[in-house]
Amino acid sequence: MEETQRNQPGIEITPTVVVVDNEQNLVAQTSSQVQPTVAPGDLDGSPTPYVPPMPIPTPASDLYTYHTVANGESLTYLADVYGTEIETLVKMNNLSGPSALIHIDQVLRVPLDRDKTSPDSILLPDSEVVYSPGYVEFDIAEFVESQEGYLVEYTEWVDNQYLSGAEIIELVAEQYSVGPRLLLALLEYYGGWVTNETLTEYQIQAMLGDHNPRGGSLYLALAFTANRINDGYYGYKRDGFWVFHLPDYNQAVTPGGLNAGTVGVQNILSLHSDWDTWHEELKPDGFMATYRDLFGDPAAYEVRPVVPKNLTQPELSLPWQEGKSFYFTSGPHPGFVDGSAWAAIDFGPPDVLGSCFYSEEPITAAADGVVVMARNGEVYLDLDGDGNIQTGWVLFYLHAVADIDIPISKGQHLKQGDIIGYASCEGGLSNSSHLHFARRYNGEWMDAGGPVPMNLSGWEVQNNLVPYNGKLVKDDEVREACECWEPDMNLIVNSDD
């Protein structure tokens, strides 16, 4: 199901108020049965051995990056551009053969031959970079007030309401699942917003870096920043390496031994700096000095592991009523905007095929839980019931328009099968009403295809190399993701067997 998760039109700037008309996006979380454990570590910016709790994939012997196919490009052309063989492209992308057709906007893996790497110093633990249990006791508003900076008086019109600076930080942290201490440190590092009461016009407009031109909107600048942090974090977890693209056209790959959180921080800093500046910013007296001035030693907040090795998914049902059918329209793809893990799959109701009319087929709770957010087509269902979006399994529903007569609200307890809303195009741009469904655990977006595969009433997601493609398998039944409505191919009945 084709969807663009953010619509960010007209921005009007006033001295301390930025008016933004935009639409939001997705996320999911989950219930934690494991108590967070704080493990101190050497995070002073010097090279440090680091063993991730969940092993990072070992990259293939041939590194690769991604290429989006443009009009007129062929495998022959791409092989010439990247100095490789057509057979290499075929193998890297599981294509049918050298004569395979490729299409505009198709994303292909292409070889990468680079001898430049990013620094090997650990910057932040993963639990500081995602919105993890390490943030449960962190009061964003209280901290912002204590610093007495420009952010205290800042307000912005977001989705038909005024939000304070602290509320915007919290909203972005919740939606993108990026740690608010990291966002605040970046806002201070680039613009001085946290501790300085009076700012220059440049600091106001470029509050998160020269290459984040978001028209003076804090919300849009933070959204861009959070998404690019996620891009590095989950890209590294997915492929075992990450490629940095700097504004001066330098490129670098990750060395061995980093953690995903460090790669996420390196990635956002790489977007705003030339090669030499980037390396200076990654030293202990660079960005991390600002972080420590605000929050002290990041090891004091570390929660390890964020995702346990033996994690299993709780029992989840298909998110619609028994006896009813939805079409499986999209396989694993980004959970929230394009930077997050491929945590989401899509389902289309049969009564509004190919249109944005509201469906009359209810979307339901896949498990018991408590609603931790319900706004603008987004619903977050916390399965451990503690009301914290940072802990445990959380399910994310997007494009779920509320029931006018019985709308759900934050804090409401739902039972499995209770109505959440109805499929629509609300909460982001889409060409057809559908449900975008994803999971998060302890703040980390969980890939639908595994290592903990999404399983709904016995239908398990099969992993794939291409976003939006994929299969759901139950015993000997197979349904293939398709932007179509073919009963034999992608229709799934919620039966009780």
DSSP 94-135: T-S-TT----TT-EEEEE-----B---B--S-HHHHBT-GGG
Which residues share a beta bridge with 379?
374, 397
pLDDT tens digits for range 11-49: 222 222 333 322 233 222 233 333 333 343 344 444 334
Q: Say how far apart CA 88 and CA 108 lie, in whole Å.
A: 12
pLDDT tens digits for range 356-393: 899 999 999 999 999 999 988 999 999 999 999 999 99
Tokens of residue 226, six digits:
């959070």
Q: Say how far apart CA 66 and CA 53 lie, in whole Å.
A: 27
Q: Say how far apart CA 156 and CA 160 lie, in whole Å.
A: 10
Residue 309 lies in a domain: no
Same-domain pairing of 221 and 338:
no
Q: What is the pLDDT of residue 225?
A: 96
DSSP assignments along 192-220, one per residue? -TTT-SS--HHHHHTTT-TT---TT-HHH
Chain centre distance of CA 435 = 17
Residue 21 lies in a domain: no
Same-domain pairing of 96 and 130:
no
Same-domain pairing of 206 and 72:
no
- The full 3-state SS of 401-421, as one line of letters, equals ECCCCCCCCCCCEECCCCEEE
Q: Characterize the bridge pairing of strands 369-375 and 413-414.
A: antiparallel
Same-domain pairing of 176 and 226:
yes
Residue 373 lies in a domain: yes
Residue 57 lies in a domain: no
Residue 449 lies in a domain: yes
- Give me the CATH number covering residue 87: 3.10.350.10
Residue 49 lies in a domain: no
Radius of gyration of the chain from Cα atoms? Answer: 22
Same-domain pairing of 263 and 154:
yes
Tokens of residue 298, six digits:
């990041």
Q: Say how far apart CA 492 and CA 327 lie, in whole Å.
A: 6
Same-domain pairing of 333 and 455:
yes
* Long-range contact set of residues 242-245: C-beta below 8 Å, sequence gap at least 24: 242/266, 242/267, 243/63, 243/65, 243/112, 243/114, 244/118, 244/270, 245/270, 245/271
Question: Of 83, 111, 139, which residue is a domain's last?
Answer: 111
Q: Say how far apart CA 24 and CA 399 lie, in whole Å.
A: 10
Number of domains in the chain: 3
Neighbours of 43 (CB within 10 A): 25
Q: What is the pLDDT of residue 443?
A: 97
Q: Could you list the residue range(s) of the whole structural domain that residue 77 is in?
A: 64-111
Which residues share a beta bridge with 48?
none
Same-domain pairing of 82 and 174:
no
Q: Which of the residues in the chain have pLDDT under 70?
A: 1-62, 113-114, 213, 496-497
Same-domain pairing of 339 and 276:
no
Q: What is the pLDDT of residue 109?
A: 87
Q: What is the pLDDT of residue 313?
A: 97
Q: Say how far apart CA 497 and CA 488 lie, in whole Å.
A: 19
Same-domain pairing of 68 and 148:
no
Across 254-278, b (16+ Cβ under 10 Å) vs e yields: beeebbbbbbbbbbbbbbbbebeeb
Kindly state the DSSP code that residue 299 receives in the 8-state scheme.
G
Same-domain pairing of 135 and 104:
no
Ramachandran quadrant class, 289 (left: phi over 0; alpha: psi -120 to 50; beta: rest): alpha
Same-domain pairing of 287 and 372:
no
- Give me the CATH number covering residue 438: 2.70.70.10
Q: What is the pLDDT of residue 13?
A: 25
For residue 47, say if its preceding peptide bond is cis, omega within 30 degrees of 0. Answer: no
Residue 398 lies in a domain: yes
Residue 1 lies in a domain: no
Q: Are 134 and 301 in contact (CB under 8 A)?
A: yes
pLDDT tens digits for range 100-159: 889 998 989 888 766 789 999 999 999 999 999 999 999 999 999 999 999 999 999 998
Q: Say how far apart CA 466 and CA 210 lie, in whole Å.
A: 33
CB contact set of 159 (below 8 Å; sequence gap of 6+)? 22, 23, 24, 375, 376
Same-domain pairing of 394 and 372:
yes
